[in-house]
Structure formats: structure tokens, C-alpha cells
Structure 1
């Protein structure tokens, strides 16, 4: 079965993260000094009540840099800004090349593992293969447990989800999850969510890809399942479509200072969404996009305005 990494391989990813309700001040970014900010927004995980930052950080593409020291340098700063803002949620997977190893090394080097809500996935066929893959993930991530363990793109979910439940009972993960990354997988995702009721589901959603609204989001709300959104920028394609365009006239009143913030706020404005997990390897984008965790949620009229922009 194809994975999200297969789908986005070769694309330049943009992104960022933000976080838990913690006071913060941002450092000066490439574009100039960013304004002081108050508490970041956080939302409750329905199954536990634990609060999670509304924007986390993915790692597909951005953290697939291997051991090259020069390539890792900007990632250190990306992580510093992420955690300085109070952010915690980092999502990765064995299918993202060397990303797990890079994350493990940098979190250990920076002393940040204890602050991290760490999520990874099992994308294998067969119980033994799934267990071996997870044990390898723990070694690469330099940890003995993760906060969230997900079935990657529903691969062999009938085997892997019960395994994840066993690992949860053993204290190897605190939450269970299921993921997908394309609209064509939404119906199956909804069926499996209905069958097993995980703690989390992860799904693609953006201003131009709103299929999750039809079935996946209502089901998550009905069953009390937390929702992580991937591909909120359509793997960077949304930025090409707004190149040279000015932000909507209402952007400032919504606390929006960039298109990245607009796209993240759009995803977050759906009431089913718990957090968005874009990926970035560029510190200046991290600083910009962290600001999407402040200010009001978009109104229905503002959401419609963005939808019509791409109509």
C-alpha cells in the first residue's frame, strides 16, 4: 500500500508548528521582529481531556536529511523555536526515510524529549513485522515509549491496530490512532474508525480538499475521536496558487499575517479538528506559522471567502 511519503516524495514542503497554552515571545525571524504573543491555543483530546497544541509538526520531507551536519543545523533552530513557543506535538513514521533517526538524535541533543508529544506509526504487514518496526522506531527515536502510535494509511489494520492496543496496555504508547492522506481513503477510514474507535485519526484536509467534512469529521465528533490534519498546505501547492495575491481584507481582524497562517486557521476552524501537523525545515517559516495559533477562529463567512478564492 502506498504511504503519504510516497505521495509527497520530491515535493518541497512548507510548514510550521505551534502549541500548548503557554505564554511565549518569539525571537526575531528573517522577515523582522515578530510581535509578542499570549497563550497559544490548545484543544482537548476527547478520550482523556489532555490538552494538545493546535498546531504540531510533521516530518515527512523536512526531517529526511540523514546525518549531514549542515542539513541538520536549520532543523535544530526549527525545534528550538517550536519548543520555545510551548509546542509539543511531533508526528513521524518509519516510512519517512531517516526522519525518525534525525528526530531522535536532535531531541536527545537538545534535551527536549520529555517536552515532546511524540507520534509515530506502524506501516507493515503481519504482527511480527509490525512489532519489529515499532521496536526499531523506539531505538531510532531514542525513547522507550511514544505518546501516540498510529496505523499508517490503514495498512494491515486488522493486525496492526490490535497490536497497538496491546502496546498501549503495556505502556508503550498512551494513545492509539489511524491515518490516511488522500480523499479516496476516507470511506475506508470512516468504516475502520467506526469499528475500533481509536483515540486519534489523522486525515488530509485543506481549503481545496474538504472531503473529510462529509463523513470523517462528523464521525470523529460523534465518537469522541481526536483529529490531526495533514496536508493543510497541499504539499506547498496552495502557495503557488496565491502567489502575488493580497490577503483578504478581513485577515488582520482574524489575526492573520500570511497565507500560511490563513491556511492553517482554515483547517483549525472546523470544530472536529484537534491539531494541524504541517512540516517545515526552515526556521523563519516556523516563526511565521506559529502565529496561526493565536487570535479568533475563522467565521463561516471568512471560511467561505477563502473557499471562493480557489473556486
Structure 2
């Protein structure tokens, strides 16, 4: 089987041109909706693939990049993605998200998530207000405590904001394996609506206990770093997808990595970041169609270890 890049796979699916890599099930893909999972604390349905904005949306006043990012948001929406995750830590990303989405007719269709990343109660209150202003939201869908910074202080603020209807949900985040025990303790003790952490096909520490803890406690899971900072693409560069990927409706390495994550039932949403429209289409398609079962997950893992 010929090896296809992300761009080529997307073109193959959309053009349905004879002689390209087109599997029968993809002819129906445009008619399918992205898969959803329920947020345990409310039952609200959340699409499986969202969008991270670290680095990719730190566009400042670059008008050409802002136009490109507008296309990213529109393509995300067309393919069923809704969650946009940002943070005060991400440079101008919050403001860029707010500026761009405010000009779209589908502005209120997105699920907006950001974070508080500071110490002290008043500093946290002020930062959250600034984030909501930048993202142009009178109510934020989700505020998370970034990397557990001063989390006990911000916990009280977020619970109060939720009770007053200023935010829909609150949560905690981190991005390292060494943080998983601390996250698990917060989940057990405080029952956050959401937890966000790192997990990938080659970084499976979360499988030891954190995913199960979140599932048992009814905490929704958002996954960051699904591509291990791009190292997974470097590992598979020049490598062909195995032929059996057709059966799993996997058309690219990005979908291979994302579908492995999404086949874990505790995961509500994965948030790969990108500034490229063709990449966001590719990423979103991982949330469409079937997901691997347990034996297929093992097969995927064995193959990626072998190359």
C-alpha cells in the first residue's frame, strides 16, 4: 500500500478520484456525524474531537494567519468539532479565538474552555474575567485550573462561579505523567466536572489508574498531547499504514493515533492543536465512523511498537 500524507489522505477522501486511496466506507463519511460522549455530571453530549490552541492560535495581529485560523475553525465546525481549549498561558490565543469566533454565525455553537493560571484568589478572579473578555463570552463553558497551580484557592472561586451560572463546568489540568497521582487525588476528593491530561499511543501512563479513576468518579476526560509533541509523526515518517487500517476507517497516521485514544471509553474529547485547515479536517475525521475494540487496540499498539 502506498504511504499517504495527511494532506493526500484528505484529498483522496474528498475527491473520490479513481486510483487514489479511497475505501468504500469513506464515500459515506460526509453523511455521518461525529461521535459524541456524555459529560457525566450533566449528560450533555460532547463531540469526540476538539481543538487545542497552544502555539497554533498565538497569532497576534498577523492577519494572514488569522484568516487561515478562521478556516480552521470553520472546517472544525463543518466536521462536527465543538470544543476549543485555550489558556492565559498561550500568548494571544484567547483573544484570537474570541476575535475570530465572534465574526462567525456559528459563534455560539462552540464549547469554549480556558484556564486559570496564576496564584491568589483575587489574581485568579481577575484573570478569569480577562479571559472571558478576550474570548468574548458572558458565560464560559469550562474553566480549568491550569497545571494545578494554586488549585485549592481557585477551587472555591470556580465552584462559586458555577453555582452562580457564570461557568458551565470546572476542571483541573496537567500534561505530565508525574502529575497523574495528584490529579487522581483531586478527582477523588473534589469530583471536578472535567480533568485534562496527557495520553497517547506511546505515552500510556494514564492507563495505569487515572483513566479508570475519572470513569469511576464521573469526571469527564479531555486528552492533551495526543501526538507527543509531534514525535509520533517523526516516528512514522515515510512509513505506510498497515492494510488492515481500512477495516478501522483509518486514513492517516493522525487518525491512527487519535482513534486509539478515543477507543478508550473514559475519554470524552481529544484536543489536537493545529493552525492548518487540512490538518484539522484530518483530525476531525478521527471522531467519525467506528472505533477500535480491545483486540484492535492491541493490534494497533503492537504495530506502532514494531516500526
What TM-score do the two structures reach when normalised by structure 2? 0.89
**How far apart are the structure 1 equivalents of 2:244 and 2:155?**
44
Whether the 8 Å contact between 1:153 and 1:181 is mirrored in structure 2 is yes
Whether the 8 Å contact between 2:245 and 2:251 is mirrored in structure 1 is yes
Matches within 5 A, 1:268-279: 268-279=262-273
Find the counterpart in structure 2 of residue 22 from structure 1: none
Deviation at 1:86, TM superposition (A): 2.8
Provide the secondary structure at the position in 2 that maps to 1:106: helix
Deviation at 1:32, TM superposition (A): 6.6
Whether the 8 Å contact between 1:56 and 1:277 is mirrored in structure 2 is yes
**How far apart are the structure 1 equivalents of 2:167 and 2:266?**
23
- Per-residue CA deviations over 1:160-215 (Å, capped at 9, x if unaligned) read 11111111112111111011101011011111111100011001000011111112
1:40 to 1:116, Cα distance in 2 relative to 1, 3 A: same
Find the counterpart in structure 2 of residue 194 from structure 1: 188
**How far apart are the structure 1 equivalents of 2:137 and 2:266?**
31
What TM-score do the two structures reach when normalised by structure 1? 0.88
Whether the 8 Å contact between 1:250 and 1:302 is mirrored in structure 2 is no
Find the counterpart in structure 2 of residue 81 from structure 1: 75
Q: How many residues align?
A: 285
Find the counterpart in structure 2 of residue 72 from structure 1: 66
Whether the 8 Å contact between 2:80 and 2:284 is mirrored in structure 1 is no
Structure 2: tracts of 5 or more residues without a match: 1-5, 16-26
Equivalent residue for 1:255, pick from 242, 249, 255: 249
Q: Which has the larger share of helix? A: 2
Find the counterpart in structure 1 of residue 219 from structure 2: 225
Structure 1: tracts of 5 or more residues without a match: 1-14, 16-27
Whether the 8 Å contact between 1:30 and 1:284 is mirrored in structure 2 is no
1:104 aligns with 2:98: yes
**How far apart are the structure 1 equivalents of 2:45 and 2:194?**
13
Equivalent residue for 1:286, pick from 257, 267, 280: 280
Whether the 8 Å contact between 2:32 and 2:289 is mirrored in structure 1 is no
